């Protein structure tokens, strides 16, 4: 089974995704980021570097640092648009003999296909590092408005990098695939792609057979950077007003401010307010100056409102071009980091009157869709089921509610927790609560509540014939086993006598969805109350046990200690007895602690007495709080 | 005749069962192997998680260190011997020692050859040696071999 890649080969940033453990997942590059800048450079030392490394040396080596070649791939040098873009470039370009574009890096001329292939080679090497094997099959994405020659050039770049390019698909189509749209019925889908530097809107008609692009629109210079700039401009103005210093003239201060603005923007996606603190931002004759501003989400929204309105206007315009009403759009998908801004999400939601699809990280969704497509195509080629689609073949259920048994004081003790995948089993060892107890009742419970009476009883049975012994000594192992069909078998075995008893519960584990939801809700509502009840019972159980152990200690070794100590312990016992059946948990805990200390003194005195008379070794149970139900996990 | 058909049917059923058994058995083996592999991966991931937790801690602390350095630079000569200032600088040193003990390493830059794997060039400056770092604007850090932040530097041209 070969590993695949989906590659979102962007103008500025390239991302890739694969199927990892059955789930599509964006891959990190060697530098630990999912974002690889689409930049290639030949360093002054003659070494070729790609991605963030190329970006870091760009300032010292602008002529040999090539970026944004996607704008020229498969296009003619003489194109008016290409000509316009060429003017902005720091590196040299020329017309190739066949009319295409060539760029210079080092002493050599390269065509944009070769440069793109260098980016893809890095993606390939990084993926090999991450996935542990070489990757051949890939699907690469391109903008919806790429023409045939641009697509062919993209394929060529992939093949030069050593990939087998299964297909080149549109970026918005990949996003729709990531969400699994169009599997059953045809749907009209609008992809709202708000990236770092560009805004694109695409309307798709997606059906099981074909994906058709109905319309595309957008703006080439509208993106997240504009949002950052608004924060920067605001601070520059405020700072100038307050301090009389123009930070825009200080490149270092501006750099710090840029980073802080981007961070603030990101923070405002989750927080309602954030601080921009830049101490020692600059200084003048009066000494150092600090920058400190608070920015609220609503302030940010009003600063950037027009940018979002512009994007929505583009959406309207694109719909108008194909005479489509917004109501005809079945689904809206958000793509690009800028759609993480709550105001952008709200604007889309308000415009369409429905919730847009945003559950997949908008920065990864295109690469993920491409990976899904690559996996489907490769699986078909290899005659297997696509990974990640295995669920349709082998359906493993999970337990909707926890299963447990009733223990001392009516507490529900869970044996198998909810959401455990079945088949599964679990066992615990329990003991008796009173001396010479010859039988135990196993009450099988279902539900999340702390008290047995609040949960549903699936059945009861009795294990008898336990040999007489003091409480806490017998070991009864209770085992729960659920097979793949949801049939529960509960078995109890007395480890001493090997006697066992079991019960089988069929069908009734499966409750209706409504019942399950109701039971879960009840548990949530009553969680605090239940916890109190449980604590109360636990406190009573501990008190009860300590009384038992203390009485036993005094009875067995009382003659070895002074009457005074014995009297104190006995008093504490009767005090605890008085409160233990009441409702005051603090009182019970306090008296328990007092008795515990008194009986420890007795124990210590007994130990000393035994040391003085070594000829009389006597085994002691020890007065410490032996747990009521001894448990031991398998 | 009827008997024969039954045998044929049984044979067919047996064959089908054999096939199914094979399929289920290999599926089970595969699942078992997957699980063992998953556990191994999970163990590795757990180790990785610890690193990531430290990384994100460092990412929050590094800007504080930056500001301490900026503050130190801004102290005037006459204030340098002020006891309170000396005390504050001791706190800076303490913080640096703490992150160092936790594994945070400073990237060397001034006087070294510019290397984009470690440094980010923000300007080229006259005077210095070509390709050699003349000035460090912001300290870079690495942890466990990973560059958390490259040093921001000025390079001689």
- pLDDT tens across A32-78, in order? 899 999 999 999 888 999 999 999 999 889 999 999 899 899 999 99
Cα–Cα distance list, A53 to A48, A255, B131, B140 (Å): 10, 19, 15, 14
Pick from A42, A63, A71: nearest CA to A54: A42
The beta-carbon neighbor of A59 closest among B124, B147, B150 is B124
pLDDT at A414 over 50: yes
Q: Residue B67 and residue A59: Cβ atoms within 8 Å?
A: no
Burial environment of residue A630 by CB neighbours within 10 A (0 to 12, 13 to 18, 19 or more): middle
Give the model confidence (pLDDT) of A318-360 as tens digits.
999 999 999 999 999 999 999 999 999 999 999 999 999 999 9
Task: Verify whether the Cβ–Cβ distance A59 to B117 is below 8 Å.
Answer: no
Q: How many Å apart are CA B129 and CA B112, to the nearest integer? A: 10
Question: If you classify domain A530-612 with CATH, what class do you get?
Answer: mainly alpha
CA distance B123 to chain A (A): 6
Torsion of CA B47, B48, B53, B58, to 10 degrees: 120
> Which residue ranges make up each domain of chain B?
106-157
Chain centroid to Cα B5, Å, comes to 68
| Closest chain A residue to the Cα of B126, Cα to Cα | A60
Token pair 């869709």 in the structure block, residue: A369
| Residues of chain A neighbouring B150 (CB-CB closer than 8 A) | 56
* Residue whose tokens read 């070969």: A2
Nearest residue on chain A to B55, alpha-carbon basis: A32
Shortest Cα–Cα distance, B71 to chain A (Å): 6
Distance CA A573, CA A544 (A): 10
A208's tokens: 């099981």
Q: In a mutagenesis test of the A interface, which of B116, B149, B153, B155 is the best target, namely the one with the most A β-carbons within 10 Å? A: B116
Burial call B76-90: b when 16+ CB within 10 Å, e when fewer: eeeeeeeeeeeeeee
Calculate mean pLDDT across residues B23-41.
Answer: 82
**What pLDDT band is residue A314 in, cutting at 50, 70 and 90?**
very high
Selecting from B38, B67, B114 the residue whose C-beta is nearest the C-beta of A280 gives: B67
Interface with B, mutate which of A1, A22, A56 (most B CBs under 10 A): A56
In angstroms, the CA A223 to CA A239 distance is: 25
Per-residue pLDDT tens over the stretch A72-107: 999 999 998 889 888 888 899 999 998 999 999 999
- The DSSP-derived string for A339-351 is GGSHHHHHHHHHH
pLDDT of B83 > 90? The answer is yes
Give B125 to chain A, closest Cα distance, Å: 10
* Closest Cα in chain A to B35: A21
What pLDDT shows up at residue A397?
67
Q: Is the CB of residue B63 less than 8 Å away from at least one CB of chain A?
A: no
Distance CA B36, CA A117 (A): 38
Q: What is the DSSP letter of A359?
A: S
Model pLDDT, residue A392? 36
Mean pLDDT computed over A12-28? 92
B36 close contact with A: CB closer than 8 A: no
Q: CB burial class (10 A; 0-12, 13-18, 19+) of residue A632?
A: exposed
Residue listed under structure tokens 């980073």: A259
Residues of A with CB under 8 A from a CB of B: 21, 31-32, 43-45, 49, 53-60, 251-252, 255, 279-280, 283, 287-288, 394
Domain A4-179+361-375: CATH superfamily, name plus number: ATPase, nucleotide binding domain (3.30.420.40)
End-to-end CA distance of chain A: 36
CA distance B131 to B105: 23
Residue of B nearest to A44 (CA): B131
Q: What pLDDT was estimated at residue A208? A: 81
Say which residue, A291 or A505, is predicted with more confidence.
A291
Look up the CATH number of domain A403-511: 2.60.34.10
* Beta strand A411-416 pairing with A403-407: antiparallel
Residues in B closer than 8 angstroms to A264, CB to CB, are none
CB B67 to CB A44 under 8 A? no
**Main-chain phi, psi angles of B3, to 5 degrees:** -55, -50
Predicted confidence band of residue B50 (pLDDT cuts 50, 70, 90): confident
Residues of A in contact with B121 (CB under 8 A): 56-60
Q: What architecture is the A224-303 domain classified under in CATH?
A: Alpha-Beta Complex (3.90)
Contact A56 B147 (CB under 8 A): no
Helix (H) or strand (E) holding B136: strand B133-138
Residue A463 CA to residue A498 CA, distance in Å, equals 11
Structure tokens at A462: 């009795």
pTM of the model: 0.68
> Cα separation of A537 and A544, whole Å?
10
Q: What is the percent of chain A with per-residue pLDDT over 90, rounded to a whole number?
A: 50
Cα–Cα distance measured from residue A279 to residue A291, given in angstroms and rounded to the nearest whole number:
6
User: Cβ of A60 and B73 within 8 Å?
Assistant: no
User: Could you check whether the bond before residue A423 is cis, i.e. omega within 30 degrees of 0?
Assistant: yes
Flag whether pLDDT at A163 surpasses 90: yes
Contact of B123 with chain A, judged by CB distance below 8 Å, is answered with yes
CA distance A252 to chain B (A): 8
pLDDT at B35: 84
Among all residues of chain B, which has the CA nearest to that of A288?
A: B74
Sign of CA dihedral A115, A117, A118, A120: positive
> What pLDDT is stored for residue A511 in this prediction?
63
CA distance A187 to A330: 6
Length of chain A: 634
Contact state of B147 with A255 under an 8 Å Cβ cutoff = no
- The answer for residues whose C-beta is within 8 angstroms of residue A277's C-beta and 6 or more apart is A290, A291, A292
Nearest to A240 by CA among A207, A200, A284, A209: A284
Q: Do B114 and A283 touch (CB under 8 A)?
A: no
Contact B97, B68 (CB under 8 A): no
pLDDT tens digits along A220-242: 889 999 999 999 999 999 999 99
**Paired sense of beta strands B133-138 and B151-156, if any:** antiparallel
Query: Could you tell me where the DSSP H helices lie in B75-118?
Result: 83-101
Separation of alpha carbons A456 and A465, rounded Å: 28
Q: Could you give the residue numbers annotated as active site of A?
A: 8, 70, 171, 193
**CATH classification number, B106-157, choose in 3.90.660.10, 2.30.22.10, 3.90.1300.10, 2.60.40.10:** 2.30.22.10
Contact A387, A379 (CB under 8 A): yes
CB count, 10 Å around CB of A403? Answer: 25
When pLDDT is cut at 50, 70 and 90, the band that residue A381 belongs to is confident
Parse chain A into domains and list their residue ranges. 4-179+361-375, 224-303, 403-511, 530-612
Q: Do A56 and B27 touch (CB under 8 A)?
A: no
> Per the CB < 8 Å rule, is B124 touching A287?
no
Taking the Cβ of residue B64 and every Cβ of chain A, the question of whether any pair is shorter than 8 Å is answered with no
Q: What interhelical angle do A224-243 and A297-321 show, nearest 10?
A: 150
By CA distance, what is B69's nearest residue in A?
Answer: A280
Of A400 and A511, the structure prediction assigns the larger pLDDT to: A400
Check CB contact under 8 Å for A57 and B114.
Answer: yes
How far is residue A183's CA from residue A191's CA, in Å, rounded to a whole number?
Answer: 17
* A59:B147 CB<8 A: no
| DSSP code for A421 | B
């Amino acid at each position: 089974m070969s590993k695949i890649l989906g590659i979102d080969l962007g103008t500025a940033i390239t991302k890739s995704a694969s199927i990892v453990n059955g789930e599509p997942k964006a891959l990190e590059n060697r530098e630990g980021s999912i974002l690889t800048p689409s930049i290639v450079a030949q360093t002054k030392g003659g070494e070729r570097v790609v991605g963030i490394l190329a970006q870091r040396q760009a300032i010292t080596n602008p002529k040999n640092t090539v970026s944004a070649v996607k704008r020229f791939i498969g296009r003619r040098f003489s194109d008016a648009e290409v000509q316009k873009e060429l003017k902005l470039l720091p590196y040299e370009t020329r017309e190739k003999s066949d009319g295409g574009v060539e760029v210079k890096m080092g002493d050599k001329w390269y065509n944009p296909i070769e440069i793109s292939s260098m980016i893809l080679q890095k993606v390939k090497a990084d993926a090999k590092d991450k996935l542990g094997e070489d990757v051949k099959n890939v699907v690469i994405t391109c903008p919806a408005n790429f023409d045939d020659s641009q697509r062919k050039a993209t394929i060529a770049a992939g093949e030069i990098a050593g990939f087998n390019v299964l297909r080149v698909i549109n970026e918005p189509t990949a996003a729709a695939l990531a969400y699994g749209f169009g599997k059953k019925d045809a749907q009209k889908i609008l992809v709202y792609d708000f990236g770092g530097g560009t805004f694109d809107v695409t309307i798709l008609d997606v059906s099981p057979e074909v994906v058709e692009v109905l319309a595309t629109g957008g703006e080439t210079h509208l993106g997240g950077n504009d949002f950052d700039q608004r924060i920067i401009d605001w601070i520059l103005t405020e700072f100038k007003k307050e301090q009389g210093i123009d930070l825009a003239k200080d490149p270092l201060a501006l750099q710090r401010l840029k980073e802080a603005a981007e961070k603030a923007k990101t923070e405002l996606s989750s927080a309602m307010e954030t601080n921009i603190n830049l101490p020692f931002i600059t200084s003048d004759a009066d000494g150092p100056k600090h920058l400190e501003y608070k920015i609220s989400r609503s302030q940010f929204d009003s600063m950037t409102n027009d940018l979002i309105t512009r994007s929505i206007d583009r959406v309207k315009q694109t719909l108008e071009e194909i005479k489509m009403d917004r109501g005809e759009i079945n689904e809206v998908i958000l793509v690009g980091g800028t759609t993480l801004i709550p105001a952008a999400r709200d604007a889309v939601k308000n415009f369409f009157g429905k919730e847009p699809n945003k559950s997949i990280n908008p920065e990864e969704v295109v690469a993920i869709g491409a990976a899904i497509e690559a996996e489907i195509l490769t699986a078909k080629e290899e005659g297997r089921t696509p990974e990640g689609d295995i669920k349709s073949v082998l359906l493993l259920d999970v337990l909707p509610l926890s299963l447990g048994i009733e223990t001392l004081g009516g507490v529900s003790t869970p044996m198998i927790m909810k959401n455990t995948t079945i088949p599964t089993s679990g066992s615990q060892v329990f003991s008796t609560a009173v001396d010479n107890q010859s039988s135990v009742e196993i009450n099988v419970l279902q539900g999340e509540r702390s008290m047995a009476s609040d949960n549903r009883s699936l059945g009861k049975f009795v294990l008898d014939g336990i040999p007489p012994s003091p409480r806490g000594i017998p070991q009864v192992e209770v085992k729960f086993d659920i097979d793949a069909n949801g049939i529960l078998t509960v078995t109890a075995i007395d480890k001493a006598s090997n006697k066992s008893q079991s019960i089988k519960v069929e069908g009734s584990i499966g409750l209706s969805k409504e019942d399950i939801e109701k039971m879960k809700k009840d548990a949530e509502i009553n969680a605090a109350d239940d916890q109190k009840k449980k604590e109360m019972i636990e406190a009573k159980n501990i008190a009860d046990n300590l009384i038992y152990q203390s009485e036993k200690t005094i009875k067995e070794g009382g003659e070895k200690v002074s009457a005074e100590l014995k009297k104190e312990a006995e008093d504490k016992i009767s005090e605890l007895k008085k409160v233990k059946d009441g409702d005051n948990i603090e009182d019970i805990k306090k008296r328990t602690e007092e008795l515990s200390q008194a009986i420890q003194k007795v124990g210590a005195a007994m130990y000393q007495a035994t040391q003085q008379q070594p000829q009389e070794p006597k085994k002691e149970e020890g007065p410490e709080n032996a747990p009521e139900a001894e448990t031991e996990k398998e | 005749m009827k008997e024969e058909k039954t045998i044929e049917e049984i044979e067919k059923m047996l064959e089908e069962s054999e096939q199914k058994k094979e399929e289920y058995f290999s599926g089970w083996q595969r699942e078992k192997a997957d699980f063992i592999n998953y556990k191994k991966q999970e163990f590795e991931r757990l180790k990785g998680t610890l690193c990531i937790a430290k990384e994100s801690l460092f990412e929050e602390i590094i800007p504080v260190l930056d500001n301490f350095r900026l503050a130190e630079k801004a102290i005037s000569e006459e204030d340098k011997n002020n006891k309170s200032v000396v005390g504050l600088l001791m706190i800076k040193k303490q913080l640096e020692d703490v992150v160092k003990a936790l594994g945070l390493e400073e990237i060397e830059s001034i006087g070294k050859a510019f290397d984009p794997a470690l440094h980010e060039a923000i300007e080229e400056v006259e005077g210095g040696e070509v390709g050699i770092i003349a000035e460090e604007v912001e300290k870079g850090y690495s942890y466990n071999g990973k560059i958390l932040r490259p040093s921001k530097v000025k390079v001689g041209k």
